[in-house]
């Protein structure tokens, strides 16, 4: 597609429920990232996928969070047993290559985000 897309754009759920957030990266981009941005806060790195390598999960805040990337394209971020502090905007980004790639291969392109509200 022309850009990174995310769905849903908004999600309201009850505490304790599981949610799935979807990211469609730009076609051909090997790197995919998930971030979250809480109200009034900066971006918090969650997880990074690069090609077929094992993902960098160092940013996931708890074992309730998990993500997968199928076929090197679409990614799903799953939050189990949601808590109110999980409320945030979840942003996905992709880049042609790894972040440190020479030229513009490391340039990140962001999706519009999913606003998650946990009641």
Partner 1 sequence: KQEVTQIPAALSVPEGENLVLNCSFTDSAIYNLQWFRQDPGKGLTSLLLIQSSQREQTSGRLNASLDKSSGRSTLYIAASQPGDSATYLCVCTGGGNKLTFGTGTQLKVEL
Residues 35/93, Cβ–Cβ less than 8 Å: yes
Partnered with residue 69 across adjacent β-strands are 75
CB-nearer residue toward partner 1: 14 or 102? 102
Q: Which of 7, 20, 56, 72 binds partner 1 (CB under 8 A)?
A: 56
Footprint (CB under 8 A) of partner 1, residues 19-48: 33, 42-43, 45, 48
**In which residue are the tokens 């730009």 written?**
26
Residue 115 CA from chain centroid, whole number: 12
CB-nearer residue toward partner 1: 18 or 107? 107
Q: Which of 27, 70, 84, 102 binds partner 1 (CB under 8 A)?
A: 102
Partnered with residue 77 across adjacent β-strands are 21, 67
User: Does position 100 bind partner 1 by CB under 8 A?
Assistant: yes
Residues 64/71, Cβ–Cβ less than 8 Å: no
CB-nearer residue toward partner 1: 82 or 94? 94
Nearest-5° Cα angle at 64, 76 to 106: 45
Contacting positions for partner 1 (CB under 8 A): 4, 33, 42-43, 45, 48, 50, 56, 91, 93, 98-100, 102-104, 106-113, 115
């Amino acid at each position: 597609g022309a850009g990174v897309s995310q769905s849903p754009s908004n999600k309201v759920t009850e505490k304790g429920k599981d949610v799935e957030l979807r990211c469609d990266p730009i076609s051909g981009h090997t790197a995919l990232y998930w971030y979250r941005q809480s109200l009034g806060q900066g971006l918090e790195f969650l997880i990074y996928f690069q090609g077929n390598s094992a993902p960098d999960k160092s940013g996931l805040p708890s074992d309730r969070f998990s993500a997968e990337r199928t076929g090197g394209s679409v990614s799903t971020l799953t939050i189990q047993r949601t808590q109110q502090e999980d409320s945030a905007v979840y942003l996905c980004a992709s880049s042609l290559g790894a972040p440190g790639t020479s030229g513009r291969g490391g340039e990140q392109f962001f999706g519009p985000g999913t606003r998650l509200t946990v009641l």
